């Protein structure tokens, strides 16, 4: 991921709202899928408070990508790999940065407030990992105080195959799931709505070209298969999870909804913000050979945050309460490149538009915990909100908002947008 003139901090756009925009300045240019009055789903680019409709602007782009960019999802374009993605970014930077193109392109702009966002791809498969070592330790400590991390954790990037059909774009209402749970005092389980609904602050990784079945992706090539990033909330029913997770792992506790932010922020946009990987402690095992290598700076220098509002807080006009704040690279024991290499090492075929979750990103700091399970210590230490309300887990009317910002000296900061979810039951 190279730094070039598209990252220059002095670069501005004739789309005035992009200049100094908190998430979508001209240095970002994330891809997404939108619809608006009179328009079916189309591929667009976020620029300030607007979306540039790439189908309407097709005449100014390279004809080589015309068919892929005319699709209602990004799968075909992502399958082309890095080269066309870099070239599109360069061309969009030129078009949106040069006043000479205002007159011809202004008509292709649509206000984000006037558009409906959709999933950027058809998600063929979704895999959720567990690379947040502090989260794994905190959760493990609740069940195994003397041995919170299982023996395989520092050898294997742990993951599970999630449910792609229930992946939804930010803003989809959160319906409380039902299932079996076994209260500690009960002899047998009961069936009913979850009473321990939780969020998980994660990042999502969109897969690019992918690999053929039976052909693993070497770690030195893993970067080529990452098409972009988003925010991801892996909603979790902790009481269902506690009863069902042994011996095969998450099922109904996780597959009822996964929310993602709508914009695919490319690796190219994040190039200035990459950092070193998580520092392994002395005595930790070295990764096996197939997990060693990759890029020089594979760590994600993104500050991720989670905010909560209750119905009472909104009625009182109170600001959202921040639950968590931390840097992704400080939480991820395994890098995205290691995730890709491990996922495919047995010959599993990743496909364009597939989604991979990092797992909950909790840092070592108490204010960097990425789930209520950790914040409330499993319900033993409820969180007190500005209204005096307490929360151990989510209740009806609660809204979660995830955000992420990339900041580095000498560069314009960019963001990933928002991932929202309102609990309606």
Q: What is the pLDDT of residue 147?
A: 85
- Both tokens of 68, joined, read 């892929």
| CA-atom Rg of the chain in angstroms | 21
Q: Is the pLDDT of residue 1 over 90?
A: no
Cβ(359)–Cβ(131) below 8 Å? yes
- How does pLDDT run across 317-346, given as a tens digit for each residue? 999 999 999 999 999 999 999 999 999 999
Q: Which entry of 135, 225, 342, 343 is annotated as an active-site residue? A: 135
What mean pLDDT is predicted for residues 131-136? 96
CA dihedral of 256, 261, 263, 264, whole degrees rounded to 10: -70
Q: Return the percentage of the chain with pLDDT > 90, whole number.
A: 94
Cβ(332)–Cβ(370) below 8 Å? no
Q: What is the pLDDT of residue 131?
A: 97
135 in active site: yes
Domain boundaries, the chain: 5-118, 126-422
Q: What is the pLDDT of residue 215?
A: 98
Q: How confident is the model at residue 144 (pLDDT cuts 50, 70, 90)?
A: confident
Instruction: Evaluate if pTM is beyond 0.85.
Output: yes
- Please name the fold of domain 126-422: Fumarylacetoacetate hydrolase; domain 2 (3.90.850)
For the 5-118 domain, the top CATH level (class) is mainly beta
d(CA 314, CA 7): 38
- How does pLDDT run across 214-269, given as a tens digit for each residue? 999 999 999 999 999 999 999 999 999 999 988 988 999 999 999 999 999 999 99
- How far is residue 214 CA from its own chain's centroid? 28
Cβ(310)–Cβ(395) below 8 Å? yes
Cβ(29)–Cβ(94) below 8 Å? no
- Higher pLDDT: 94 or 146? It is 94
């Amino acid at each position: 991921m190279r730094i070039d003139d598209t990252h220059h901090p002095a670069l501005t756009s004739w789309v005035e709202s992009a200049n100094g925009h908190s998430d979508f300045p001209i240095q970002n240019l994330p891809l997404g899928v939108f619809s608006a009055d009179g328009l079916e789903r189309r591929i667009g680019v976020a620029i300030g408070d607007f979306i540039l409709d790439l189908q309407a602007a097709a005449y100014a782009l390279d004809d080589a990508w015309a068919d892929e960019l005319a699709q209602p999802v990004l799968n075909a374009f992502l399958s082309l790999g890095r080269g066309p993605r870099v070239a599109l970014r360069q061309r969009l930077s030129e078009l949106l940065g040069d006043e000479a193109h205002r007159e011809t392109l202004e008509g292709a702009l649509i206000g984000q407030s006037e558009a409906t966002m959709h999933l950027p791809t058809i998600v063929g498969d979704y895999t959720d990992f567990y690379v947040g070592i502090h989260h794994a330790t905190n959760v493990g400590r609740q069940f195994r105080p003397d041995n919170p991390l299982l023996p395989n954790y520092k050898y294997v990037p742990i993951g599970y195959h999630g449910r792609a059909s229930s992946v939804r774009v930010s803003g989809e209402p959160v319906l409380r799931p039902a299932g079996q749970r076994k209260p500690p005092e009960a002899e047998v389980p009961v069936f009913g709505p979850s009473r321990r609904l939780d969020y998980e602050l994660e990042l999502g990784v969109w897969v690019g070209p992918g690999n053929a079945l039976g052909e693993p992706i070497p770690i030195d090539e893993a970067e080529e298969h990452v098409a972009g990033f988003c925010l991801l909330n892996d909603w979790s029913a902790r009481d269902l999870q506690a009863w069902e997770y042994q011996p095969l792992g998450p099922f109904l506790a996780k597959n009822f909804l996964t929310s993602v932010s709508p914009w695919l922020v490319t690796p190219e946009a994040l190039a200035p913000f990459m950092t070193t990987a998580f520092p392994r402690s002395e005595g930790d095992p070295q990764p096996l050979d197939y997990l060693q290598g990759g890029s020089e700076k594979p760590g994600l220098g993104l500050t991720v945050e989670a905010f909560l509002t209750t119905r009472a807080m909104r009625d009182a006009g109170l600001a959202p309460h921040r639950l968590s704040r931390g840097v992704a690279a400080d939480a991820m024991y395994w890098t995205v490149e290691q995730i890709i290499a491990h996922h495919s090492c047995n010959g599993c075929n990743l496909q364009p538009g597939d989604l991979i979750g990092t797992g909950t990103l909790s840092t070592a700091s108490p204010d960097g915990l990425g789930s209520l399970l950790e914040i409330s210590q499993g319900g033993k230490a409820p969180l007190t909100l500005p209204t005096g309300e307490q929360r151990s887990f989510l209740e009806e009317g609660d809204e979660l908002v995830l955000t992420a910002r990339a900041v580095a000296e000498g560069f314009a900061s960019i963001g990933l947008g928002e991932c929202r979810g309102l609990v309606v039951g």
